[in-house]
Chain A
Amino acid sequence: MRSAASMQAGERRLSLLVTVLAYAMPVIFVLVPLAIFLVYSFFSVDQGTIVYAPTLGNYIRFFTDPIFLPVFWNTIILCLSVAVICILLAYPTAYFLTTLKGRWRYALLMLLLVPLLMSYVIKIYAIRSILGLNGFLNKALVALGILDQPSTLFVFNMNAILLTLTLLLIPFAILPIFLSLERIPQTLLRASDDLGASGLQTFLRITLPLSLPGVASAASFVFVLAIGDFLTPQMVGGISGFTFGRILYSQFGTAYNWPFGAALSVALAIVVILAILIGERFGRNRGSSV
């Protein structure tokens, strides 16, 4: 019989390895790249080669050049709008799901989440063809007599980006809202009825406040995913639909100005981190246990 002590030592080594890995993964794959970006944002480019001398030039350019800040703000507004529209559409959907019984509830939820399994690019193509001049949306509006002739209002502009991002990201809003609604104990709603509240009062004073954490995480999910997306604006935005993501992408892919791209990324990362922190702040409920 091999001694139990050596077995124990082996187990201890294994658990140490697991611990190291658990900490190393986020450090190597998240923190280190972020740090590299931060460092690069203080370099500059001269005739296509990176100059490794620290400078604040990139940040000065970002704040003073008349192009970047307006696009930055517009993109933030756009993504906030996407988040708001997603929430407005997802909340009733999620609420409806929680009113369903047992099997139906999860079957329908799965159905709503199926788009997440499909390729992002294919979905954008599909939505673009719906929004286009000969697309389903225009045909339907003309057929219903709402429009006289097909409109170019829905594709290759900001509207197109807004609609497409909303459609793409709605599942990310439904899921957290559904989970937070489902977690509300039924007895709380019965207690509210019992104390004389009407259905509407119960919804406004119990269900809604208790589901706000889910709404907050849904909003920050959608906002963060929307603001980081450059593919959707690229494909449906045309010339007028210019977003911060596209500028960022062009710095790396077209202009080969990595240090400036890194500086823009840092600006974006700050917004994303703020969004996550705000989502987290409101996502936590006061005294969440009953």
Chain B
Amino acid sequence: MDDKLFEILEYGVYGASILLILIGLYAVLTKRSLIKIVIGMSIIDGGIHLLLITIGYLKGGTAPIFSPGYEEAAAQMVDPVPQALVLTAIVIGFGVTAVALSLIIRLYRHHHTLEIDEIKRLKW
């Protein structure tokens, strides 16, 4: 791949991950529906996962698997650690989202609404 193109692409991916994080933050901070807030949270998670994967990427990288006959490929392997981190983080994000949605179900049964403004019995 062309060096220049790769550089542009790399910045593009970094920019996309930051943009995803910001979109998610916007949703969490401004939306009034509980479901939309949880969706925003998931978008933030997605942005961070993309960021982590990008950090570990290498130009022209291959999968980090050692196989016979390809010993010299080690220099071209992408860093496997961020990928392991992202796998773990995806599972954790899934768990948190599941708990959040179950709490939303219970809140809906209590209040019969998902508007966050109408659910404020507890104050600071």
A binds B: no
